[in-house]
Amino acid sequence: MTAEHILHRSTSARPPAAVRGEGIYVIDSDGRRYVDACGGAAVSCLGHGNRTVIDAIAEQSAKLEFVHTGFFTTDPAEELAAVIADLCPGSLDRVWFTSSGSEATEAALKLARQYHLERGDSRRSKVIARRLSYHGNTLGALAAGGSIWRRKPYEPLLIDVALADPCFKYRFAETGESAEAYGQRAADSLEREIQRLGPDTVMAFIAETVVGATAGAVPPVAGYLQRVREICNRHGVLLILDEVMCGSGRTGTFLSCEQNGVVPDIATLGKGLGGGYQPIGAVVCTKDVYDTIARGSGALKHGQTYNAHPVGCAAALAVQRVIGEEGLLNRVEVAGTRLRELMAARFGNHPNVGDIRGRGLLLALELVADRGTKAPFDPQLAMHQRAKSDAFSRGLLIYPGGGTVDGRSGDHILLAAPYNVTDNELEMIVDLLGQTLDAILPS
């Protein structure tokens, strides 16, 4: 194998070559096995090498590998859309397929803009997102995120998006403040931002139901999303919930927002939708949003070559059927509870572990220099990268993040095991992670 022409993520070193996957393991060209405790980036929800999904891909590829949606629809796309609509809460029942989560964000923003245009409300063009958020790496999606270090090199190219406060109780709740009171206060920052911009100019508020990569598995506190929903309704602002990482069953329900009793106007999906077997994402909108387009121009003014790719849809359809037939949403709940118990037992009193948080099988540890004050480590230490490197040397794959506190300082480690993870595998993950933290942390 030659590595002379590929542009890797880092130009300083060539990563090992992965050649095979078996369940929770990734195997490299030297035969070394790595426990995939993060699914790459919360992608591999069924682990690697699932025969049912592989067979579905092969069967569809043999039948029809590609058609353009400007000419045809396909059975896999129609069937997958029906499955998603059935799994989604409320009137979320129309689906637009993309090839990634970033593309889903782009399509969702365009859909939101067109919705208001179809209603004759052309002034609504402004988007509000949250600090410490991430919605993808294409320019529109990057603009809609609040990740400072990801945005900085490209700021001259980004559209102007307003940022409201995150809902991050560990970091931003005041001493003695209840979760409910904090949630109301965090949501009220959205109200203030809408008023600052002018309520009749805001088209959408976009937020991750459970914040993923930027802050590390931060779920909303009780009442927060309900208050956000009420604010959006009152001002005619569409609510877009990004479930690319936390959706598709990752937290124990198909959409994580189901656990908060909130239905968005638009939801985005990716990652676990296809489990990594094919690139696929999706935008799901309510009947009201769809009907507004249908009664108006009758066409979404957006499209890409690989929308509703037949093989991608067939793969995702097989993934979702496996999840349903094997009862894996329930397994996510049970395994998530067990993993959290194991993490609490091993790290709950660690002086450099400030918080253990998350929902279902999307869990994280926040690393701190001082547990009592919550002071983060010096960013120059890059503790999250040290953790990744040490864990990798032990055969453990984790998903680290920096800038957890303010976009610059703070470190966390994200875990996103497959939905069919066994109890023994959970114990192995925590044991290996414990070895890593023992090796890199000062206490």
**Model pLDDT for residues 301-339, shown as the tens digit of each residue:** 999 999 999 999 999 999 999 999 999 999 999 999 999
Confidence band of 2 (pLDDT split at 50, 70, 90): low
pLDDT at 298 over 70: yes
Tokens of residue 197, six digits: 């911009």
Q: How far apart are CA 342 and CA 82, in angstroms?
A: 38
pLDDT at 1 over 60: no
pLDDT value of residue 60 = 98
β pairing state of 25-28 and 281-286: unpaired
At 52-66, the pLDDT tens digits run 999 999 999 999 999
pLDDT at 252 over 70: yes
pLDDT value of residue 363 = 98
pLDDT value of residue 331 = 98
Average pLDDT over residues 388-401: 98
Nearest CA among 241, 160, 226, 164 for reference residue 195: 164
Average pLDDT over residues 390-414: 97
pLDDT at 3 over 60: no
pLDDT at 193 over 80: yes
- Name the percent of the chain lying above pLDDT 90: 95
Edge to edge, the sheet with strand 266-269 lists 92-98, 281-286, 266-269, 238-242, 202-208, 126-130, 162-164
Confidence band of 148 (pLDDT split at 50, 70, 90): confident
Number of alpha carbons in the 13 Å side-chain half-sphere of residue 400: 20
pLDDT value of residue 358 = 98
Query: 18-21: long-range contacts at Cβ-Cβ below 8 A with a sequence spacing of 24 or more?
Result: 20/48, 20/49, 21/47, 21/48, 21/49
Average pLDDT over residues 237-257: 98
Please state at what angle helix 310-325 crosses helix 51-63, rounded to 10 degrees.
Answer: 150
In this chain, the answer to whether the domains covering 18-50+327-440 and 54-325 adopt an identical fold is no
pLDDT value of residue 13 = 86
Q: How many CB atoms lie within 10 A of CB 348?
A: 11
Query: What is the CATH number assigned to the segment(s) 18-50+327-440?
Result: 3.90.1150.10
> For domain 54-325, is the CATH number 3.40.640.10?
yes
Domain ranges of the chain: 18-50+327-440, 54-325
Mean pLDDT of the chain: 97
Confidence band of 147 (pLDDT split at 50, 70, 90): confident
Length of the chain in terms of residues written: 443
Average pLDDT over residues 19-48: 98
Which class for 17: exposed (0-12), middle (13-18), buried (19 or more C-beta within 10 A)?
exposed
Average pLDDT over residues 273-280: 98
- Name the percent of the chain lying above pLDDT 70: 99
pLDDT at 362 over 80: yes
